[in-house]
Structure 1
Amino acid sequence: MPDPISPFLYSCFPVGSRKLAAHANPVTAVLVGRSGPVRLEREGQRVEGDILLVRPGIVHAVAFAERGADVLYLNGLGFPFDTLLGRGLTGAPAYLALDAMRGDESAMAELRDRLTPAACAPPPAVAAAVQAIHADPMWRMPQSELASRLGMERTQALRAFKAATGQSFRAFKLWSALQYATQQMAEGALVRTAAMDAGFADTAHLSRVFHRHFGLTPSAAIAGLSVN
């Protein structure tokens, strides 16, 4: 789904399994347990709650109650708390996260504003590049194209992109393609079809990236879609 106040997409995916293997989500995420609390674990550290905001880039495992959880990925949003793994959401932010997961764009806008009120929209040229990447999942925009769009030398363009999005140019393109493939599979596409349509080399390539970012395989994720 398009974010109502930025060029980024945000995604909500169901997780029907009871646990996720060690992985590092590439962007800030919200985990909502369906029938009990969610637990994040890393090297003896633990964070538990019904609704958790998860720090990106930190390898962690996740345990859920019986019916799994739903995950909202907040692309382009920095993590606003000084905690290693994550932090529970309560009160208005928790209700806003739940409404955003149901597709309420005004709730998404308010949630983003509450979590990072000082956040600035990316420069127009970066926003246009982000939209172009989202619009064509099979295309991996080259660095030279980004530099041309931003009117900068290549290294400067890469730095400007990361400063505006929170991800390296390469990581952002891969995550955008993975989001598209995951959405296709959630809608019933075969793994190999989703891989091809999103520009992955083959099914094995998609499976490796999927496990690294989500902590489970595509087949396990598809199997869990029936858990409500």
Structure 2
Amino acid sequence: MEEALRPGDTAFSTSVFSVDVAGVARHPNPVTCVVRGRRGPLSVVGQGQSVTGDIVIIRPGVEHHIICGEGGLSAMYLDGARWPGPGTLAERLEGRLGELALAGMKLDSGAQRELRERLDHGQDRLSRRIGAVLEDLAAEPMARMSQDELAKRLGLERTQALRLFKHSTGTTFRQFKRWTGLQHAARLIVAGARVRTAAMDAGFADTAHLTRTFKQCFGLTPSQAIAGLPTIGGG
């Protein structure tokens, strides 16, 4: 049996972005996401439901929009995290979970790790081979790792490798590659790069491709995000 990553280790990334906007358009999050209003409560609306709170966790893959007050919102994306809550759209995070989420948004790596452990309670740990693949995808989004290369690295037939990847990460190989590239582009834009440069560096075909993908995953276009940038952290 292949060795697994030790408890507390993770090859998944955690990204934190803040934006000063009045709201975010309808979109599904590719991964589990925690949001908070920067100067008061916000509301997550979708699937005939509305959840309002200071800190809210949103289930991935569910279309929703966000209404926030003055100061906009901060969002923390937890790649690979499995949300075990019973809600179909979102839930308020309170008590210890709320404390961990708030600290995680302030880039406290220990809080991010503990929050992941609580969300992932009972989940299988990643194999080291899968972990190495995830780290390489994050480090080199332009590398465009193929399905055949994935299968070779995991020592499996292609269909088996794709199935294992989805079981381990909660998303398909293709979706994960797109999300990794998008996060890379978002960090470049936050750092002041032109949208065209960010698109090229992150492996997107052109600016239009990045803009479409950005809006599908974040509910904002890159230009809207740039216009609303306050202080942003990522890690």
Give TM-score scaled by structure 1 length. 0.95
Any stretches of 5+ residues in structure 2 without a counterpart?
A: 1-7
Asked if the contact 1:158/1:169 (under 8 Å) is kept, the reply is yes
Q: Give how far 1:159 is off.
A: 0.3
The answer for the alignment partner of 1:85 in structure 2 is 89
Q: CA deviation at 1:39?
A: 0.7
Say whether residues 1:46 and 2:55 are aligned partners: no
**Partner SS state of residue 138, structure 1:** helix
Two-structure CA RMSD over aligned residues (Å): 1.3
Establish whether residue 124 from structure 1 lines up as the match of residue 128 from structure 2.
yes
Indicate the SS of the match to 2:130. helix
Unaligned runs of 5+ in 1: none
Give the structure 2 partner of residue 202 of structure 1.
206
Shift of 1:115: 2.0
Q: Please, which moves more after superposition, 206-215 or 98-107? A: 98-107
Structure 2: how far apart are the matches of 1:188 and 1:123? Answer: 36
Partner residue, 1:67: 71
Q: Is the 8 A contact 2:17 2:76 kept in 1?
A: yes
CA offsets 1:88-112 (integer angstroms, 9 cap, x no match): 0011111111111111111111111
1: CA distance, partners of 2:177 / 2:231: 30
Rounded Cα–Cα distance in structure 2 between residues aligned with 1:141 and 1:9:
18
TM-score (norm 2): 0.93
CA distance in 2, matches of 1:175, 1:8: 12
Q: Post-superposition, which runs of at least 4 consecutive aligned residues in structure 1 deviate over 3 A? A: none
Alpha-carbon offset, residue 44 of structure 1: 3.1
1:217 aligned residue: 221
Q: Which amino acid aligns with 2:54?
A: D
Q: Which secondary structure state, in structure 1, belongs to the residue aligned with residue 141 of structure 2?
A: coil
Inter-partner Cα distance in structure 1 for 2:10 and 2:152: 22
Q: What secondary structure is seen at the aligned counterpart in 2 of 1:99?
A: helix
C-alpha distance in structure 1 between counterparts of 2:210 and 2:116, whole Å:
30
Secondary structure at the residue paired with 1:96?
helix
Shift of 1:191: 0.5
Aligned-partner Cα distance in 2 for 1:44–1:76: 26
| 1:193 counterpart letter in structure 2 | T
Question: Residue 136 of structure 1 is aligned with which of 140, 143, 146?
Answer: 140
- Which one-letter code corresponds to 1:127 in the other structure? G
Amino acid aligned to 1:162? K
- Equivalent pair of 1:55/1:85 in contact (CA under 8 Å): yes
Q: Which residue of 2 aligns with 1:9?
A: 13
Give the partner amino acid of 1:197. Answer: D
Kept in 2: contact 1:67–1:227 (CA 8 A)? no
